[in-house]
Amino acid sequence: MNVRLIARLDIKGPNLIKGIHLEGLRVVGDPQQFARKYYEGGIDELIYMDTVASLYGRNNLSEIVKYTAENVFIPLTVGGGIRSADDVTHMLRMGADKVAINTAAVNRPELIREVSQKFGSQCMVLSIEAKRVGPDRWEVYTDNGREKTGLDVVEWAIKGQELGAGEILLTSVDQEGTRKGYDNRLVRAVSEAVSIPVIASGGLGEPAHLSDVIRQGKADAVAVADALHYDRLSIERLRQAVDETAMAVKHV
């Protein structure tokens, strides 16, 4: 199978931003311009993540999503501050295809079931922020890595799948923004525990990291952020690494 290459755009207000460990945010530019550029460059999917929505209880993304959906014909996932089925309806109307839910799902797991039953599980992406707390143990965090929950990441992923999540967006808070590579052990632990696809996020520094997270982490999809935003790596280069690895894995 082909591993998906996904551009992740973290949003604060009207801006595309980038942080380290999901904090210390820097403004990168206009998210719509970047989204358009990635679409034309051949990215497989886009994820918009509103980084402050959970804090302020609102979502700034509507306008950005609406504009993007008029021009970009690939799957678009929207996350950040989505609390209810009504919020999902709103985001789908704006043009999202899927929603990524973290905090609200932790607070009320039934929301996962409600969203997947009403809109289909293909729409319900469970977003998990994971922090390493021991050897091969990770804890679920919310609010961009600020709040601990006491939940075990692997157990929460299994529960999310049981409740109807169609995919898992798995962000390593430890690796995020470090350019030191994905947390391959984390990705593998989750990917082997569930039957739904797992998107690895956080830590890409060089193309070899993609090979590692596909081979060692068994990632079904990879999210890329600042390496693209700052033009350190091209989509072509990333695609080559992903496709070569996926092909090699297939023939093992």
- Please list the active-site residues: 10, 129
Q: Does 2 engage in binding with other proteins (CB under 8 A)? A: yes
Q: Does 87 engage in binding with other proteins (CB under 8 A)? A: no
**DSSP string spanning 166-191?**
SEEEEEETTTTTT-S---HHHHHHHH
Which residue of 122, 133, 148, 247 would you call a contact of other proteins, by CB under 8 A? 122
* DSSP 8-state class, residue 142: E
Residues between 173 and 202 that touch other proteins (CB under 8 A): 195-197
Which residue of 30, 58, 120, 147 would you call a contact of other proteins, by CB under 8 A? 120
**Judged by CB under 8 A, which stretch of 50-58, 117-125, 139-147, 149-157 contacts other proteins?**
117-125
Q: Helix H segments across 95-183? A: 103-107, 110-119, 153-163
Answer yes or no: are the C-beta atoms of 185 and 154 closer than 8 Å.
Answer: no
Six-digit token pair at 22?
């999901």
Q: How many CA atoms lie within 13 A of 206 on its CB side?
A: 2
Which residue of 25, 28, 85, 92 would you call a contact of other proteins, by CB under 8 A? 92
Residue 81 has phi, psi (to 5 degrees) of 80, 10
Residues between 3 and 62 that touch other proteins (CB under 8 A): 3-4, 39, 44
Q: Does 240 engage in binding with other proteins (CB under 8 A)? A: no
Answer yes or no: are the C-beta atoms of 145 and 176 closer than 8 Å.
Answer: yes
Residue type at position 50: D
Q: Does 75 engage in binding with other proteins (CB under 8 A)? A: yes
Q: Which residues contact other proteins by CB under 8 A?
A: 1-4, 39, 44, 69-70, 73-75, 92-93, 95, 97, 119-123, 166-167, 195-197, 220-221, 250
